Chains A and B, each alone.
Chain A
Amino acid sequence: MKRYSVFAVAREGLRYHTGWERAWRSPTPKKKYDAIIVGAGGHGLATAYYLGKNHGITNVAIIEKGWLGGGNTGRNTTIIRSNYLQDPSAAIYDKALKLYENLSQDLNYNVMFSPRGLIMLAQTHHEVRGYQRTVMANQLQGVATEWVTPQQLKEIVPILNIDGPRYPVLGGLYQKRGGTARHDAVAWGYARACSAMGMDVIQQCEVTGVRRDGNKVIGVSTTKGDIDCDKLGMVVAGHTSVLAEMAGFRLPIESVALQALVSEPIKPCMDVVVMANTVHGYMSQSDKGEMVIGGGTDSFNNYTQRGSFHHIEETVRALVETFPIISRLKMLRQWGGIVDMTGDRSPIISKTPVDGIFVNCGWGTGGFKAIPGSGWAMAELMAKGHSPLAEEFHMYRFREGKFIDESVAAGVAH
């Protein structure tokens, strides 16, 4: 693999860009791999990457039903933060944030990480108390966040209407290290790095069955034939229940649609990410100038990657009050993804009842920010059988009542 650099750009510029090689190979599947990862989204590719980089396991295939990064990796609002209340969450999300900070250098691929800062608005007294508690928890966890007053917020985000009347801004939880990254680039960068290590990224190859010998996984059946493996990682977000059923076990998750939308591009007006959890909307401005807006999930089980129009209407209507300048904006595009929700709104990174099968799912509405940390933990779990970062995210915590309850801590948007 040729490295990307300013010299490469100059060299190719002088020869009409004829020398660029493909970023990753499109191989046909081998008969057998040491490990197969199902799902070539951010989490799956990151898992494969850290399997190779940290644990020296490079005989790996990443199998993808659709196209690379075409699921939730390419459908989210690219927000990155680690200001979680619970210790296990803060640990894994902050690991992810730290890895994001150097990811472009690590992968030799510009993921456009932009630590522009992130604010969660407190618009009720309940939220004020909740976020002040989170600030203190974050200090104990070593995650730098601070509480900011409405006047400070007005200086940081001039387009904010802090007066209400319905939803006055009473303060905010500010994480300066938070921000955004380019979602596609994260998937592409990991895929390129995996391919360079000799791993096979196999797209348009749907898993149709999981083959077992007794209680041990021996491989998968796919639309491109049977492939054998010693270890199998399921990293397929919204379709995890479908895959788990093929393997013969159940998971405590439900799949629902989550939508996002972007406006027409406008001049730079907001250089932080703002989340308003009371009204359930969050917004940032992309490098192209579009206002990127996300809202809440639909309430019913859904696998169609499209959601209900009234949810978009609710999200935008609520945000208009806090951001009056968006009232005349035209919305350009809207899309949906299928998110896998757990009971406590925390992910599952776990061994399963089947030997050799590992599952990484349940990231719900907030998986993008966790990609590097999630891959790091999942790779460690698959390689060594245990991972300190993943320890409390096992799938049996529901039976034991050991929730990592971010559904209460984070309110809703997540």
Chain B
Amino acid sequence: MLTLHCPYCGIQADETELAAGGEAHLKRYGPGSSDDEFETYLFMRENKKGVHLERWRHAYGCGKWFLAARDTATLEVYGTYAAQTSEPPVEVKAAIRAKHPGWTWKEQA
């Protein structure tokens, strides 16, 4: 079973007490945006085979949203971090690069 460390209440949470929330760090578009931007925000997803940054909610715990870096090809977890960030923290990036040397954060690419 997948277990993730909740950065708020600090426990190792089982998958059964978590709710998956899909891809993280989506750029949100509001009124006045183009059809392209709306489509990208609402429907287009990276769907990576490999490093995936995603949202989770500790639904049957503290109830808060947090973010996780996980590998969809191996199910390895590289780290979890608070939701109030616009990019993964340094230590999570380092953990990812230890396994995927060429990996770059999308905003830097």
User: Interface on A for B, CB 8 Å cutoff?
Assistant: 239, 241-242, 250-255, 299-304, 308-310, 343, 398-399
Of residues 39 through 85 on chain B, the ones whose CB sits less than 8 Å from some CB of chain A are 39-40, 42-49, 52, 54, 70, 72-75
Smallest Cβ distance from A341 to chain B, in angstroms?
Answer: 10
Contact assessment for B45 and A252 in the assembled complex, using a CB-CB cutoff below 8 Å: yes
Docked-complex contact A252 and B43, CB < 8 angstroms: yes
Q: Are B1 and A308 in contact (CB under 8 A)?
A: yes
List 9 contacting pairs A-B, 8 Å CB cutoff, sorted by A: A252-B43, A254-B23, A299-B19, A300-B20, A301-B23, A304-B74, A304-B75, A343-B42, A399-B35
Q: Given that A303-B73, A398-B39, A399-B38 are contacting pairs, would A254 and B49 also be in contact in the complex, using a CB cutoff of 8 Å?
A: no
Expressed in whole angstroms, the Cα–Cα distance for A303 and B35 within the complex equals 30
- Contacts known (A304-B73, A308-B15, A310-B1); A242 close to B20, Cβ less than 8 A: no
**Interface residue B16 (Cβ < 8 Å from any Cβ of A):** yes
Interchain residue pairs A-B with the least CB separation, the first 10 = A252-B43, A241-B47, A299-B20, A399-B39, A300-B20, A398-B43, A303-B49, A303-B72, A250-B44, A301-B72
Q: Which residues does chain B contribute within 8 Å of A301, judged by CB atoms?
A: 22-23, 47-48, 52, 54, 72
Contacts of B74 in A (CB 8 A): 304
* Nearest CB on B from A386, distance (A): 22
Question: Considering the chains assembled together, what is the distance between the CA atoms of A242 and B16 in angstroms?
Answer: 29
Proximity bits, B5-20, A CB within 8 Å = 1, else 0? 0000000000110011
B54 touches A253 (CB 8 A): no
With both chains docked as a complex, state the minimum distance between the C-beta of B13 and any C-beta of chain A, in angstroms: 13
Note all chain A residues with C-beta closer than 8 A to B42: 343, 398
Contact of B47 among A255, A308, A310 (CB under 8 A): A255
Are A302 and B36 interface neighbours, CB within 8 A? no
- Kindly state the separation between the CA atoms of A252 and B45 in the bound complex, as whole angstroms: 6
Bound form: Cα–Cα A304–B74 in Å: 7
Residue in B closest to A340 when the chains form the complex, CB atoms: B47
- CB contacts (< 8 Å) of A303 on chain B: these are 49, 72-73
Q: B interface vs A, CB < 8 Å?
A: 1-2, 15-16, 19-20, 22-23, 35-36, 38-40, 42-49, 52, 54, 70, 72-75
Contact residues in B for A242 (Cβ distance below 8 Å): 49
Among A251, A254, A299, A301, chain B packs the most CB atoms within 10 A around the CB of A301
Say whether, besides A253-B45, A310-B1, A399 and B52 are in contact (CB < 8 Å): no
Contact among A241, A308, A343 with B43 in the assembled complex (CB-CB below 8 Å)? A343
**Cβ contact within 8 Å between B36 and A399:** yes
Q: Which of A250, A253, A300, A309 has the most CB of B within 10 A?
A: A300
Tell me which residues across on chain A come within 8 A of B54, comparing CB atoms: 300-301
If A254-B45, A301-B47, A399-B43 are given as contacts, then 13 extra A-B residue pairs at C-beta distance below 8 Å, sorted by A number, are A241-B48, A250-B44, A251-B47, A253-B45, A255-B49, A299-B20, A303-B49, A304-B75, A308-B15, A398-B39, A398-B43, A399-B35, A399-B39
Q: A254 contacts which of B19, B22, B35, B73 (Cβ < 8 Å)?
A: B22
Q: A308 contacts which chain B residues (CB < 8 A)? A: 1-2, 15
Question: What B residues does A398 contact at CB under 8 A?
Answer: 39, 42-43
A251 to B35, CA, bound (A): 15
Cα–Cα, bound, A356→B22 (Å)? 32
Q: B44's contact among A251, A255, A299, by CB below 8 Å, is which?
A: A251
Q: Which residues of the other chain, A, contact B70 by a CB distance below 8 angstroms?
A: 300
Residue of A nearest to B2 (CB): A308
Q: Are A302 and B43 in contact (CB under 8 A)?
A: no
Chain B neighbourhood of A239, CB < 8 A: 49
- Contact partner, A255, options B35, B72, B75, Cβ 8 Å: B72
Residues of B within 8 A of A310 (CB): 1, 15-16
In the docked arrangement, what's the CA distance between A299 and B1, Å? 13
Least Cβ–Cβ distance between A410 and chain B, in angstroms: 19
Residue contact B73 to A300, C-beta cutoff 8 Å? no
Interface centre among B15, B42, B72 (most CB of A within 10 A): B72
Closest Cβ of chain A to B21, distance in Å, is 9
Q: Which residues of A contact B48 (CB under 8 A)?
A: 241, 301
| Chain B contacts for A251, CB-based, 8 A | 44, 47
Contact across chains for A302 and B75 when beta carbons are under 8 A apart: yes
Which residue of B has the minimal Cβ distance to A306? B75
